[in-house]
Amino acid sequence: MTTSPRKSALYLTRVQLDAELHRCLNCRNSPCMTACPVNCNPQEFIQAALAGRWSDAVKAITRTNPMGQTCGLICPDKFCMQACTRHHVDFAINIPRVQATILDRYREADPCASPVPSSRRIAIIGGGPAGIAAASRLSRHGIRVTLYEARSFLGGALTMIPQERLPRDVIQKDWAFIPHRDLIDLKLQSPVEDPVALCSVYDGVIVATGEPHDIALGIPGESLSISYREYLQEPEKYRTSGAVAVIGGGNVAADCALTARRMGASDVEMFIRRRISDMRISRPEFLALLHEDISLCGMSSPEAISAHGELLGLHVRRNQCVDGQWVPLPNSVIEIPYFSRIIRAIGSRADAKADPVPDNLIYAGDCKTGGSTIVEAIASGLAAADHFLDILS
C-alpha cells in the first residue's frame, strides 16, 4: 500500500485559502478564465468565496468542470496560473488549489432541476476524464448515456497518479457529485472491441479510450524491464530496496521515479534523451525530484538491457545535439550493471482509429489529441458532448 497523503499537504488551510482569495485583483478581462481549456472562471468563484457565498463558488466551478476537485489537485500551472495577473505583482494565485479546497470543504449535493429526458442515446467508450466529462454534460441535458469502461473502476490514466498527489477517493467524489447520474448507465469491466458496431445501436458514439498501449524502446533485453503502466498500477508488487532506473523525462517518468524512492529504492536514476532543461515537467515536479535526491542523467539513451543474476545492466549511450538533432555520440556506450528494476516511461499510443469514421462517431481526449492533461481531456470530452447536443437537438 502506498501511504495516504496528509490532507493538509493537498489542500489549503483556512488561513491559506483566505490569503489566496484576498490576493485576487478581480481583473476586468478575466485572463484566468480565458486561459482555462474548460472556460472555468476563477475570478467568479474567488469573488463568490470572498463574499462568503460558498455554494455560488462551488456552482461556478462545477458548472464547467465536472471533475473540479481532481483537476484542482493535479492541473499543471501552465493554464490559469500562468495567465494570472497577480503573477506580475508577486506570484500567481494558486488557483487550482483554491478550487480543490473550496470543493473539498463546501460542496453539497446540487438540487438542480431535472432535465426533460430525451429519447436519444449516446454510447461513451472509456471512463477517464474525457468520457466522464462527456457523460456529465450529456446527462445534464437529459440525454441517456451508456458509459463503457474496460476496467472495474473509473478514472482512466488518473488512477496511475501516485496517491500522494491524487487520492483515489477524490475521483470517486467528483463522480458522485455529477447530477442526473441516473441517466448514465455505467458498465464497468465492459471493454468494447469494436466501437463502430455501436454506431447502429446508439444515436452517437464517443470514443474516449486514452492511450492504452506503451511505446516500446525496441532494444535487446527490453522484456527484462517493466512499463510505467505495470509499475504505477501496482507499485507494491515491484517494490525494491535496490537501485531503480527510469527511462524517460516526462511527468509520468517523474511519477515513477518518485514512487520508487518512496517505496524504498536506495538509488533512483532517470535517463533522459535530451537535456535536463528539456524535461517536460512542471517546476514543482522538478523540485520534488531534486528534493528526493533522484539522479538525472541527461542526453542519454538506452541501447540494451542485460541480466546479471538478480541484477540488471542498463547499456546507455550518450547523445549530442548536431544541427538541432539529437544523435548518438560515437563510442559512448557504457553499462551500468546494478539495477534491481528498470522502468520504461517513454510514452504511449492510442488504438487505431476507425477508417472510415462513421458520421455518428467521434473521438475525444488523449486518444484524439495524444497525451495531454486532465483539463484538456475534460475540455475535449465536453466538446464531443456539445457536438451531439447540437446535432441531436
Residues in touch with ligand FAD (CB under 6 A): 74-76, 125-131, 148-151, 156-158, 160-161, 191-192, 208-210, 212, 232, 251-252, 255, 365-366, 372-374, 377
Q: How far is the CB of 371 from ligand FAD (least distance, A)?
A: 6
For β-strands 184-187 and 204-207, DSSP reports them as: unpaired
Residues between 29 and 58 that touch ligand SF4 (CB under 6 A): 30-32, 42-43, 46
Per CB under 6 A, does 85 bind ligand SF4? yes
Please say which residue, 23 or 262, places its beta carbon nearer to ligand SF4.
23
Any contact of residue 72 with ligand SF4 (CB under 6 A)? Answer: no
**Cα→Cα distances 358→195, 199, 381, Å:** 10, 7, 18
Does 27 engage in binding with ligand SF4 (CB under 6 A)?
yes
Cα 115 from Cα 141, distance rounded (Å): 6
Q: How far is it, in rounded angstroms, from Cα 154 to Cα 100? A: 19
Cell match 461556478: residue? 60
Q: How far apart are CA 303 and CA 322, in angstroms?
A: 20
d(CA 17, CA 50): 10
> Interface with ligand SF4 by CB under 6 A: which range of 82-90, 101-109, 164-172, 190-198?
82-90
Residue 24 interacts, among ligand FAD, ligand SF4, none and using kind-specific CB cut-offs from 5 to 8 Å, with ligand SF4
Spatial distance between the Cα atoms of 192 and 209, rounded to a whole number of angstroms: 10
As measured in angstroms, the least distance from the Cβ of 373 to ligand FAD is: 3
The whole-angstrom separation of Cα 363 and Cα 354 is 10
Show the binding pattern over residues 190-229: x = contacts ligand SF4 (CB under 6 A), - = does not: ----------------------------------------
Q: Decide if 262 contacts 164 (C-beta within 8 A).
A: yes
Binding footprint of ligand SF4 on the chain (CB under 6 A)? 24-27, 30-32, 42-43, 46, 84-86, 93, 95
